[in-house]
Amino acid sequence: MENIEELQQGVLNDWDIDPQFLPATNNDEERFKALRNILMRRIEELAEKDMEKLLFILYRIDVSEKKLYAVMRETPPDSFSATIADLIIERQLQKIKTRQEFGGKENDWNFDV
């Protein structure tokens, strides 16, 4: 998987997850699965203990409200955390792609009149 390092860093920071919980491996697929599982557990923890904080983090990282509420209405409770984790990962990857496309380029704006 591309961008696993950047994805991992973003998820760990946004969700206050200690990196020591991730396995020490260079296999990107294993790292992705472990990251997703840890994120799912964090979502479950917040859903049980502090739903307001969960929603605040989702808002802060800009997960689509429309998708989020559809998931909350339509997803069975046993797959709620997996579906939310997938939304989060999808959004993080979108942000990474946007930064790669626009972040490294010098802009051509000219404010001289």
Mean pLDDT of 84-96: 93
Instruction: Decide if 91 is inside a domain.
Output: yes
Percent of the chain with pLDDT over 70: 89
Whether residue 37 is contained in a domain is answered as yes
Distance, in Å, from the CA atom of 38 to the CA atom of 32, rounded to the nearest integer, reads: 10
Cβ of 100: how many Cβ atoms within 10 Å?
13
Buried b (16+ CB within 10 A) or exposed e, 25-37: eeeeeebeebbbe
Domain that holds residue 46: 4-96
Is 106 inside any structural domain? no
Give the gyration radius of the chain's Cα atoms.
16
108 falls within a domain: no
Average pLDDT over residues 101-113: 63
Report if residue 66 sits inside a domain. yes
Q: How many domains does the chain have?
A: 1
Query: pTM for the full model?
Result: 0.81
The mean predicted confidence, pLDDT, of the chain is 87
Q: Which whole number is the average pLDDT over 4-29?
A: 87
